[in-house]
Amino acid sequence: MSRRFFGTDGIRGAVGEYPVTADFMLKLGWSAGRVFASEERATKVLIGKDTRVSGYMFESALEAGLVAAGANVLLLGPMPTPAVAMLTRSQKASAGIVISASHNPYTDNGIKFFNADGKKLSDEVEEEIEEILSQPMETVPSPELGKANRMVDASGRYIEFCKSSFPHSLSLRGLKLVLDCAHGATYQIAPQVFAELGAEVIAIGAEPDGYNINEGVGSTSPAALQARVLSEQADAGIAFDGDGDRVQCVAADGTVIDGDELLFIIANDLVRQNRAPEGVVGTLMSNLGLEQALREKGVDLVRAKVGDRFVLEEMAQRGWQLGGEASGHIICGEQTTTGDGIIAALQVMAAVVRSGETLLTLKSGLHKYPQTLLNVTVSPDFLLAECAAALDESRRVEEVLSGRGRLVLRPSGTEPLIRVMIEGTDGSENLMLAERIAQTIRDAH
């Protein structure tokens, strides 16, 4: 069965446009409640959200649908996506739901699910939810209706969980850190975590109003963080995205440290502790320089399809504990079950403290190849696999790059975009070749 609503990271789109509507979310809550129902125990589902104004509407709709299906609901309020995964596990809940569109603007929203183990749903479960969506909605008898409550100490529980991932023998005392919370779900939690571990914390992007999430701040817009790190003469900056599952860092001189470099820093710190990981899972977009730098440390890199769920699947299949994407989805499997910006940042800062070195020095063993990434806007019904002109041009470009670079051409899993990535030794040639493919797609489209 082909999924109609679920993409690579749940359901996402413009608020008010089907399926990101209140009536659909009501039915989705009911369908999920039916699927997660268990004969052994009462069904309990957690709901968290980021700071978008539309979160109120969708929270209420999902709550009503779940209760109508007989499920009990625990409302967490604004909470990072990985916090929902952690609390779903610790509360022995049937599932967790996150209302968020991650790094997208406030005019978008979406839904992500976690199973009882705090992991992304399998394709089979998502298909089961979609199958029930096509059925008429029927409310359970009144004695079987669920109830809804609010978890008042959700933030405190997650703060302590994050702090527990940082080595007890280390402290962040003496470090001045600028935290960019993207006016999103980490705005209360991240500053408290790092301050309680001893850092001097300066927070930006920590005044959400429902409309400013990701607006000129956060991991996808690092300029504000770079400027503040320089003006404060801080030791480092840390930027999260709107729902807190991504992280990028900024060194003291304003240099952006991306997900590939953060993965290298964490892996190399493990090597230095004689705890070298057997391997690291990256994606098709992971820089060739990361693969070479890890190999020099005796660590393998395996590439999964783009998307943290595919990284997680590959990690589980191989029994590896570290993986991530250049975008900043970093999965530290020894600490948690999903991408977690705060947890990953803490492992990076532990490497800084343990080594006594700066972020710039710690990443110096990784020499990245120039990459060009172009996003080509297409209509939602555009199928790259059926665009012969683009595929032919791609083959010609691969012949040009043979032996000294690589091409990744793929549709976005969350937006109507075709992503064209070329990696090679010559940055200007990369751009020229990427533009050739992008223009072919535009002409064909």
Distance CA 36, CA 44 (A): 9
Question: Is 354 a residue whose pLDDT tops 80?
Answer: yes
Position 39 scores a pLDDT of: 61
Identified catalytic residue from 31, 54, 102, 394: 102
Check residue 40 and give its pLDDT: 62
Report the sign of the C-alpha dihedral through residues 355, 361, 365, 369, in that order: positive
Using only the alpha carbons of the chain, give its radius of gyration. 22
Mean pLDDT of 135-160: 97
H or E element in which residue 295 lies:
helix 288-296
Mean pLDDT of 281-302: 96
List Cα–Cα distances, 244 to 80, 101, 346, 405, in angstroms.
5, 11, 13, 33
Residues 6+ apart with CB under 8 A from 320: 277, 278, 279, 280, 281, 314, 333
pLDDT for residue 414: 73
Q: What mean pLDDT do residues 21-29 have?
A: 98
Contact of 218 with 184, CB cutoff 8 Å = yes
Domains annotated on the chain, with CATH: 11-154 (3.40.120.10), 173-255 (3.40.120.10), 258-342+353-367 (3.40.120.10), 371-444 (3.30.310.50)
Q: Are residues 20 and 13 in contact, defined by beta-carbon separation less than 8 angstroms?
A: yes
Q: Is residue 192 predicted with pLDDT exceeding 80?
A: yes
Model's pTM, two decimal places? 0.92
CA dist., res. 156 & res. 263, Å (int):
28
- Grade residue 8 by pLDDT with cuts at 50, 70 and 90: confident
> What is the average pLDDT across 245-259?
98
Q: Is 102 a catalytic residue?
A: yes
Distances (CA, A) of 224 to 192, 246, 409: 21, 17, 31
Q: Taking 80 as the threshold, does the pLDDT of residue 84 lie above it?
A: yes
What distance in Å separates the CA atoms of residue 428 and residue 81, rounded to the nearest whole number? 38
- Residue range 405-432: mean pLDDT, rounded: 92
Residue 415 has pLDDT above 90, yes or no: no
Rounded mean pLDDT, 122-127: 93
Q: What is the mean pLDDT of the chain?
A: 96
DSSP percent split of the chain into helix, strand, coil, nearest 5: 40, 20, 40
pLDDT of residue 2: 59
Four-residue CA torsion sign, 127, 130, 136, 139: positive
Percent of all residues in the chain with a pLDDT value above 70, rounded to a whole number: 99
Band (404; pLDDT cuts 50, 70, 90): confident
**Tokens 């493919």 sit on residue:** 437
Q: Lowest-pLDDT range, 79-83, 208-212, 409-413? A: 409-413
Q: Residue 1: its pLDDT value, please? A: 47
Mean pLDDT for the stretch of residues 260-277: 98
Is pLDDT above 70 for 294?
yes
The DSSP symbol for 297 reads: T
* Whole-number pLDDT of residue 445: 77
Residue 168 has pLDDT above 90, yes or no: yes
